[in-house]
Structure 1
Amino acid sequence: MRANHPEKPLAFWFRYSIFLPKTIPDSDKKNTIGELWAVVFNRETNRMTAVKEEFRIDECNFSGSGLDVSIADRGRLLPGIAYGKISSNGDSISWDLKYTDGQAPLRLLPKYLYKGKFPTAKATVPNPMAVFTGTVEVNGETYKIDNWVGSQNHNWGSRHIDEYAWGQVAGFDNEAEAFLECATARVRLGPFQTPWMTTVVLRYDDREIVISNLWRAFQAKAAYKSFNWRFDTRNKMLRIQGSIEAPLESFIGFNYYKPDGGSSTCLNSKIAKCQLLVTEPGKPDRVFKTRHRAAFEIFNTDRDHGVLVIA
C-alpha cells in the first residue's frame, strides 16, 4: 500500500509479502519467509528511509479467504487497517493507519490473462484512491497522516517479470479524482524474449480507459532508461502519451528474491513526476500533471544505477 501527502513531496510505501522458493519441496518450508517492507520518501529533506525485515513462515499468517495478513508480531493488514513496526540498518519505521474504500478494483491486464500461466506475475489494484489516516514514525519523528490518498495493491506469481517499468498516480495535481495505472515490460519464454508490451488504465470523468489487450500492448511505443520513462499508446477512440520521471535521489533500491534462485533489483520511488496527454478526435486535449505524486518502479538485473540498495 502507498499514499502521498496532499501537497508536499512526502509519501509512504508498505509491503507485506510471502516468498516461497521454487526449488524446494512443497513439504520443506524452512526457506519460505514472510517479509515486511517500509519506505518513507521525504524530498523536503532529501531523506528516503527504507527498512525491511524477514521472518520464518511459521511466525506469519496469510489468510486464503480474505485480506488478513500477519507478519510475526510486527505487522498486520486487514480491510481498512494496517500497522507495523520494523528496523534495519540503524533505521526504524512504524505505522498505525486506517484507510477507506476508494474506487472499484482495477485490472492492468485483460481478464483472461489472470487465469493462465502467462504472464508469470500478475497484479491488481483492489483499492484505488484509498484515503489513509493515522501516524507514521521514522526514527522517532512522527508524521501525521491526514487524508493522504493512495492505493492498496496486490501482486503474485511463480516468477518475476524479467524487466519492467511500473507507474501509478492516485490523484493528479490538476485532476484530483483521476487514477492512472501503467506498465511497460518484456518477458522470457524459454530461450526467447518477447517484444516490449505497454498497458495503461486511466480513470477520469467517470470513464475508464483500458488499453491492455495484447495487440495494443505490443503496438505501443515505450522506452525507459535510468529514471525516465516515456510511453505512447492508443485504441480506436483515443491516444495517451505519458512520461514519468524522478531524480536518482528520489529512489531507493531493494533486492527481490527470485523463486527459481538469485535476485533482481527493484528501484522504487513514490514521489515521481508524471504528465499525460490524452487526445481524442472532436474533443479538447486533456493534460494530467503531477509534480511528485507518481509511483515509479524499475525492475531489472542492472546493478550499475547508482541507487542505494538497502536489502
Structure 2
Amino acid sequence: MRPANAPRFRRGTDHVESWFVRANDPQRARALWLRSTVLTRRDGDAVAEAWCSVFDDTRTLAFRQQVPLADASYGADGSSRVGPLRLGLAGDGGSSSGELTSVSGPVRWDLAFRRVPAPLGAPMCLLPHERLVDAPFPRNTLLTPFPVATFSGRLAWGEDEWDLTGWTGMQGHNWGAAHSPEYAWAQCVFPDDDAVVEAVSGRIELGRRASPLVSMLVLRRDGEELRFDRLLDLWRQRTRIDFPRWSLTMRGRAGEARLEVRADPAATVCLGYDNPARARSYCLNSKTARVRLEVRPRRGPAYTLESEHGGALEFLRAEPLPEVQPVV
C-alpha cells in the first residue's frame, strides 16, 4: 500500500480527494475542523479548496476558499498549500496555519499535532483488506493516518482566542471518483479510556445504481482492536440514519457493538461538496456530537464508552435541510 497520506489524484480524471484535521476541547463543546481538497475533472478543469469550520457551545461557522489547482501545491506526503491554508504532514506529526474570512469576519489558526504512540495511534483503515485501498472497488476510500493525535497552538475567532494545548483529535484522508451517494460517518476519541472508534454506513455505487447501506466499524481499546468490516454481511448489521441521529449495530467474529451518535442541529454546518461529474452533495457536519458505544466482545466482559461532546459526525445527502444553517 502507498503511504496513507500520499496523493492519489491525477489531472484529466474525475476525482475528489481531501486531507482533514479535527481537534476537540476535552472540557467543553468546542472543536476545530480543517480540510484541504482537490477536485479534478476529465475535461482538465481542476480546483483546490481550503475549508475551516469552528464549533462551540454558543455559535458555529464554516469558511471556504477555492483556487485553481495550478495556484495550489501538494507534496508527496500530502502536505499542501491552498490559498491561505498551510497543512504540513510528517511521519509522526503535522502542523497547519492560515486565515479564512466570511461575512462574519476572520478565523486564524496556527497549530501543531502529534500522533499518540501505537497501537492506539497507528494508522487505521475501515476496509477489511489493505489491498482494497487502491483497488477499483469500492470507488471511495477512507484512511485515517492519525486516528488519535494531541494538539497545541492557538486559534483566533473574532474576539475569542482559544488555546489548543491538550486538545485531542485526528487526521484523515479520503478520495474517490465522486462522493458516495449517501453516508453517515463518525469518529470519536475517548482519552480517559485509551480508546478510539471510527464507523461508516454508506451506499456503494454498483453501475448506475446504489447499494443498500453497507457499514463498517473499528474499535481500539487497551491495546486491542475489534473489527466489524464484513462489507457484504448485511444480515449482521442494522443502521438507521435519521438526522441528527445515527445508530448502528454490528455483529461479527469480534462480538457485538452498538453505536449511537447524535448531533446538535444548532451546532452543525451544511457544507456543499462538489462532485466532478454529478450534482453537488450536502454534508451536515458536526464535530461536537454525543457518542455512546456499547460493546459485547466475544471474549471478556461487556463495556460502554461515552463522550458528551467529543464526536465527529457527518451526514451526506442529496439535499440540504432547513434546520441546519445555510450552505457554505
- Give the TM-score normalised by the residue count of structure 2: 0.87
Query: 1:217/1:95 Cα in 2 relative to 1: closer, same or farther (>3 Å)?
Result: farther
Task: Work out which of the residue numbers 73, 81, 88 in structure 2 matches 1:77.
Answer: 88
Structure 2 counterpart of 1:97:
111
Whole-angstrom distance in 2 between the partners of 1:292 and 1:225: 19
Q: Which runs of no fewer than 5 residues in structure 2 stay unpaired?
A: 1-20
TM-score (norm 1): 0.91
Identify the residue that residue 77 of structure 2 maps to in structure 1. Answer: 66
Corresponding residue for 1:162?
181
Of all paired residues, the percent bearing the same amino acid is 26
What is the aligned-residue RMSD (CA, Å)?
A: 1.6
**1:53 maps to what in 2?**
65
Map 1:173-188 to 2 at 5 A.
175=193, 177-188=194-205
2:288 is aligned with 1:271:
yes
Partner of residue 40, structure 2: 20
Which whole-Å CA distance do the structure 1 matches of 2:309 and 2:84 have between them? 33
3-state SS, counterpart of residue 261 of structure 1: coil
In the alignment, the residues of structure 1 paired with residue 299 and residue 220 of structure 2 have an alpha-carbon distance, to the nearest angstrom, of: 20
- How many residues are matched? 300
Q: Distance in 2 between matches of 1:144 and 1:217?
A: 44
**Structure 1 gap segments, 5+ residues each:** none
- The reply to whether residue 6 of structure 1 matches residue 6 of structure 2 is no
Deviation at 1:6, TM superposition (A): 1.5
Aligned to 2:146: 127
CA distance in 1, matches of 2:81, 2:195: 32
- Give distance in 2, aligned partners of 1:135 and 1:264: 32
- 1:154-174 CA distance string (max 9 Å, x none): 1111111100000000226x5
Which amino acid in the other structure matches residue 38 of structure 2? Answer: I
Partners of 1:136 and 1:310 in 2: how far apart? Answer: 23
Per-residue Cα deviation, 1:260-308 (whole angstroms, up to 9, x for no partner): 1320100000000010111135632110001110000000103334211
- 2:257, 2:295 within 8 Å by CA — same for their partners in 1? yes
Q: Distance in 1 between matches of 2:87 and 2:281?
A: 27
Give SS of 1:58's match: helix
Q: What SS does structure 1 have at the residue aligned with 2:184? A: strand
SS at match of 2:171: strand
- The separation in 1 between residues aligned to 2:292 and 2:210, in whole angstroms, is 30
**Aligned match of 1:239:** 256
Letter in 2 for 1:161: S
Deviation of the 1:116 alpha carbon? 1.7
**AA in 2 matched with 1:108:** L
Task: Work out whether residues 53 and 88 of structure 1, in 8 Å CA contact, stay in contact via their aligned partners in 2.
Answer: no
Quick check: 2:49–2:82 contact (8 Å CA) kept in 1? yes
Q: What amino acid does structure 2 have at the position aligned with 1:34?
A: A
Partners of 1:216 and 1:222 in 2: how far apart?
A: 13
Residue in 1 that maps onto 2:100: 86
Per-residue deviation, 1:217: 5.5
List, as ranges, runs of 4+ consecutive aligned residues in structure 1 with deviation greater than 6 Å. none
Question: 2:172 aligns to what?
Answer: 153
Separation in 1, partners of 2:160, 2:228: 42
Answer whether contact 1:184 1:199 (CA < 8 A) is retained.
yes
